[in-house]
Amino acid sequence: MSSSSNSDSGKKGSNPLEAMGAFFSSQANRRKLVTSEKQALATRLTAAGETFPGSDHRPADRKKWMAELGPEKVRVHQVVWPGTHDSATNKIGIPFVTRPFAQCQSLSVYEQLATGSRVIDVRVQEERRVCHGVLATYSIDVVLADVKRFLGETESEVVILEVRTEFGHDDPPEFDKYLVEQLGEHLVPQDEAVFHKTIAELLPRRLICVWKPRKSPAPKPGEPLWSAGYLKDNWIDTDLPETKFESNIKFLGQQPPVADRRFFYRVENTVTPQADNPVLCVKPVTRRIHGYARLFIAEVFAKGLGDRLQVFSTDFINGDFVDACAGVTKARVDGAA
């Protein structure tokens, strides 16, 4: 009887060496899948190229690329808005310790705007500090000061500022009132007519601020802030670049054309580190898709979805990403897209 019992317990017990072997086998398979998807995107790039309407456009000054296109000609719905993901994480965490796991931008918000970004994505916690998950960084005041500085140095650049309460945190008290107090003179009030107005018709107001609280009341039509439903996306949590690329195309294809849309729709050219993968730092993971922004736009046009693209965001924004978005915007304004 005891012999049988020992035999049964041996079968049920876990062998540490077997568990370790299964773990390393799983990691190896995961790395193979990541490599396969990276190679698949590289193959698509070789086959399809990066040509699309406006792909050869280079603004003379990215800081003022909207003004170059003519504020009296550019309608809000025609803009392909280059954006940044987790915009205010340039100084988050401890350098070389926790920062690599949460930093999605190396530039300040002001530097991103000067580089050409026109959509800023900021997450806050109870004390009005910017955060990314459990890590907090500087006060939201730093972001607002950067936005106001940029608006003060330009005349016709329109910015979308998205502020949301981070998951797992409570809304900062009376935060909507605070935003209005700080940004009031710049704010474009919530109004669906805005989408068909020209930039010139919005002036001198040039800031569309979308406030996404977790529990506080949402902004209402006519109020200075815009509610969450006016900036939508279909984010998926994956570190696989072709999987994200395909998902972005699929969900973009389900959206109405920008001319018929009464909200901003965002596509994020990013992938996200996963806990079951040995590479957990943001930069090497997001690099898997980072260089394929122009390929994405080219494929979108090739599939007949060029009239859907609107907000296009990235980690670690650079000038080439901005040029691609500005190029499509110019092509639309010129009637070439």
Give the pLDDT confidence score for residue 30 in this predicted structure. Answer: 87
Give the pLDDT confidence score for residue 9 in this predicted structure. Answer: 44
Closest CA to 82 of 101, 63, 106: 63
The arrangement of secondary structure in 52-334, i.e. its CATH architecture, is Alpha-Beta Barrel (3.20)
Both tokens assigned to 256? 């109405």
Give the pLDDT confidence score for residue 289 in this predicted structure. Answer: 98
Give the pLDDT confidence score for residue 25 in this predicted structure. Answer: 74
Give the pLDDT confidence score for residue 5 in this predicted structure. Answer: 44
Query: Counting beta carbons within 10 angstroms of the beta carbon of residue 174, is it exposed (0 to 12), middle (13 to 18) or buried (19 or more)?
Result: exposed
Q: Domain coordinates of the chain in residue numbers?
A: 52-334
Q: Is the pTM of this model over 0.85?
A: yes
Q: Tell me the pLDDT tens digit for each residue of 148-182.
A: 999 999 999 999 999 999 999 999 999 999 999 99
Both tokens assigned to 230? 């006016």
83 and 265 Cβ atoms separated by less than 8 Å = no
> How confident is the prediction along the chain (337 residues), in pLDDT tens digits per residue?
444 444 444 444 568 877 767 766 777 888 999 999 999 999 999 999 999 999 999 999 999 999 999 999 999 999 999 999 999 999 999 999 999 999 999 999 999 999 999 999 999 999 999 999 999 999 999 999 999 999 999 999 999 999 999 999 999 999 999 999 999 999 999 999 999 999 999 999 999 999 999 999 999 999 999 999 999 999 999 999 999 999 999 999 999 999 999 999 999 999 999 988 878 999 999 999 999 999 999 999 999 999 999 999 999 999 999 999 999 999 999 999 9
154 and 186 Cβ atoms separated by less than 8 Å = no
